[in-house]
A and B are shown apart, each in its own frame.
Chain A
Amino acid sequence: MSDLSVRLAGVPLRNPFLLASGIWGESGDSLAGAWRAGAGGVVTKSIGSAPRPGYPNPTIETYGQWGMLNAMGLPNPGIDEYPPEIATARAAGATVIGSIFGGDAEEFARLAGRMASTGVDALELNLSCPHAEGYGTEVGGEPADVEAIVRAVTRATALPVIAKITPNSADPAALAVAAERGGAKAVSAINTLRALAIDTTLHRPVLAHGLGGLSGAAIKPVGLACVWQIYERVSIPVIGIGGIATAEDALEYVMAGARAVEVGTAVAFRGIGVFGELVRGLAARLDALGYPSIESVVGIAHPGRTRP
């Protein structure tokens, strides 16, 4: 049986399938549930300095099985009230990555210190939400800002820092390079693609916020291209995100250069049982192809990267 365990930014993962931020991440019971369903780790909802209700509904629109548009608006209970949820997840044995979002380097650093004290295994910085004024892509769209934020966070905590990169940029890989320069131990890519839906009967945007972010199968080729380009320009590990619903999807990402992947939209379409299917499916696929481990496959689709 192939070895699905990986080390990511110094954190051992029992398998490479992480629950993506924003999915099942408000409550500790849900994080624990995703862990029990087989996830290799769970990323929390992005947590900010204060409670935030998010945008009014409609916050989502679906496109069959192809994808989903969302503008949740970073709802979260705030860093003061969130630690008990992490405690619940950790009590279940989960490997927990704390996601945070701030409006500038200083706020990120302050949140990082607070999140680190909850006992999480690593931090993921949301530098990439495409639809929240003053946050996400608005602070993480330029390499210099990404570098400054990551550097501030790495000075505030000894935990490994993962920078989540936006695809809504001419050169997403440049953002990953900047994150590495700032001291990130890994980068995750991609967040959702900025997107819109219009109801023609009502001649108005469907989502209350108007613009949202597209996720799911439709964006997998975009995510693969970003991971591919990032892998060629950084030496830190890459976490692939975007449209992963099957083991084959995940293996594509791994061969493009991802050492782990995050799974989000598939939870809506397939249920939390998708984690068990992914773990079993990837082990079987690696066995069938004759690979002993995940590590032996990372990036092998790149010319010059030969099979070990």
Chain B
Amino acid sequence: MRTVVAVTERVEETPSTVTLRFPYGPPARPGQFVMLWIPGDDELPMSLSYVGGSDKGVTVKAMGATSRHVLDVEPGDPIGIRGPYGNAFDLAPARVLVVAGGSGAAVLAPAAEAARARGATVAVALGATEAPELLFRGRFEAMGARVELSTDDGSAGAKGFVTPVAERMLAEEPFDAVWTCGPEIMMRKVIEAAAPRGVPVVCSVERHMKCALGMCDACALGPYHVCVDGPVFPAERLTPLAEFGEAHRDSSGRRVRFGR
């Protein structure tokens, strides 16, 4: 069942990213997602970027046609929500390195906040195409995390991908866990960087979804269904899968290679 709620707040986080806040009571944990229905358009899986209490939120990057419609939603507009679905980050590790690529920060920010609230130390490697697109930079800084940046164009932090930044941070400090979300090719590199140091990596994975109930097979990833077995996976479950970092399935179930 869906709950139709009115959007309470719309925040432009970056030029391509918008947060929608809405009242929704069912308890959620960082890492879980909801199915967000834009009436008359489509329904999409969206990781919660704000999980607490009844004031929840999602942070959406304009990609497909529907996510562009999400950006047009105004305060007061009705949206449908069902969930939360899926699993969550294990908040036990005491020293966490967060590696976020682009809109991956949306799911990692609430996880980092929850870890900080439990007394963990958090460091963040945050990457984006250009400085204005660094999602939740201020939010990570406000939680007292060490934040290191990278941009493709060098307009903030190191020029290039975020993985070399993460690798340097892994060399500089000890960590008990790496949490990462972003393009799968990036996450594969993060896993490779952490492996020699024996730091366990946890990934939040995205796939096309329809039912979100572990039934329709749209989000099949190897033997897993991302909607119920994920979206948060320990790296050792993902690395043996030929599809991880290589291909996903489109709406028809065809395998489609990720763009390079």
Question: Per a CB cutoff under 8 Å, which of A54, A61, A199, A268 touches B214?
Answer: A268
Which chain B residues border A64 with CB–CB below 8 Å?
A: 1
Q: Which residues of A contact B175 (CB under 8 A)?
A: none
Residue of A nearest to B218 (CB): A26
Complex CA–CA separation, A33 to B214 (angstroms): 12
Residues in A neighbouring B41, C-beta threshold 8 A: 56
- Closest chain-B Cβ to A263's Cβ sits at a distance in Å of 11
Chain B residues numbered 223-252 whose CB sits less than 8 Å from any CB in chain A: 223, 225, 228, 249-252
Which of B32-40, B93-101, B135-143, B193-201 lies on the face that meets chain A?
Answer: B32-40
B146 at the interface (CB under 8 A from A): no
- Is A206 positioned at the interface, with any CB of B under 8 Å from its CB? yes
Whether A58 contacts B37 in the complex (CB less than 8 A), given A27-B253, A53-B250, A53-B252, comes out as yes
Place the interface of chain A in its size category: 35 or more
Of A4-12, A17-25, A128-136, A150-158, the stretch lying at the interface with chain B is A17-25
Cβ-based interface call for B28 (8 A): no
When C-beta atoms are compared, the residue in chain A nearest to B252 turns out to be A51
Which residues of chain B come closer than 8 Å to A45, judged between CB atoms? 217, 253
A54–B43 alpha-carbon span in the complex (Å): 14
Cβ B252 vs Cβ A75 within 8 A:
yes
Question: Once bound together, how far apart are the Cα atoms of A199 and B225, in whole Å?
Answer: 28
Given A201-B4, A208-B42: A60 and B213 within 8 A (CB)?
Answer: yes
* Contact residue among A33, A72, A78 (Cβ-Cβ distance under 8 Å from B210): A72
Residues of A contacting B126 in the complex (Cβ-Cβ under 8 angstroms): none
B185 at the interface (CB under 8 A from A): no
Chain A residues whose C-beta falls within 8 Å of the C-beta of B250 in the assembled complex: 53
Interface residues of B in 177-235 (CB under 8 A from A): 210-211, 213-218, 220, 222-223, 225, 228
B260 in contact (CB, < 8 A): no
| CB proximity of A166 to chain B, nearest CB, Å | 21
Residues of B within 8 A of A56 (CB): 41-43
Q: Which residue of B lies closest to A27 (CB)?
A: B220
- Known interface pairs A30-B217, A61-B1. Does A77 touch B253 (Cβ–Cβ under 8 Å)? yes
B44 on the A face (CB < 8 A): yes
Set B215, B252, B255: member contacting A54, Cβ < 8 A: B252
Residues from chain A with Cβ under 8 Å of B216 in the complex: 22-23, 26, 59-60, 72
Least distance between A176 CB and chain B CB atoms (Å): 27
Q: How large is the interface on B (under 10, 10 to 19, 20 to 34, 35 or more residues)?
A: 20 to 34
Q: How far is the CB of A188 from chain B (nearest CB, A)?
A: 19
The CA-CA distance from A51 to B256 in the complex, in Å, is: 13
Interface string of A264-287 (1 = CB under 8 A from B): 110111011000000000000000
Q: List residues of A (26-43) whose CB comes within 8 Å of B's CBs.
A: 26-27, 29-30, 32-33
B43 CB contacts on chain A under 8 angstroms:
56-59, 208
Are the C-beta atoms of A58 and B80 separated by less than 8 Å? yes
Confirm or deny: A76 has a beta carbon within 8 angstroms of a beta carbon on chain B.
Answer: yes
Q: Is the CB of A27 within 8 A of B252?
A: no
A78 CA / B255 CA spacing, docked (Å): 12
- Given A59-B210, A202-B78, CB of A75 within 8 Å of CB of B253: yes
Contacts of A23 in B (CB 8 A): 215-217
Give Cα A65 to B255, complex, Å: 33
Q: Could you tell me if A27 and B2 are in contact, using CB atoms closer than 8 angstroms?
A: no
Asked whether B253 lies within 8 Å of A26 as measured between CB atoms, the reply is: yes
Expressed in whole angstroms, the Cα–Cα distance for A22 and B216 within the complex equals 7
Q: How far is the CA of A76 from the CA of B43 in the complex (A)?
A: 19
Contact of B254 among A51, A264, A271 (CB under 8 A): A51
| Cβ contact of A53, chosen from B40, B214, B251, cutoff 8 A | B251
Q: Min CB distance, A75 to chain B, in Å?
A: 5
B82 to chain A, nearest CB (A): 8
- Alpha-carbon gap, A72 to B253, bound state (A): 12
Q: Give Cα A271–Cα B80 distance, bound, in whole angstroms.
A: 25
The reply on A233 being an interface residue by CB < 8 A is: no
* Interface status of A302 (Cβ within 8 A of chain B): no
5 interchain pairs (CB within 8 A)? A54-B251, A57-B44, A75-B210, A75-B218, A199-B39
Q: Beyond the given A58-B80, A267-B215, could you list 6 further A-B residue pairs with CB under 8 A, ordered by the A residue number?
A: A23-B215, A26-B253, A51-B252, A70-B211, A81-B254, A202-B78
Chain A residues with CB under 8 Å of chain B are: 22-27, 29-30, 32-33, 45, 51-54, 56-64, 70, 72, 75-78, 81, 199, 201-202, 204, 206, 208, 264-265, 267-269, 271-272
Which 10 pairs from chain A and chain B are nearest by CB? A57-B43, A26-B253, A53-B251, A268-B215, A27-B220, A26-B217, A268-B213, A51-B252, A77-B254, A77-B253
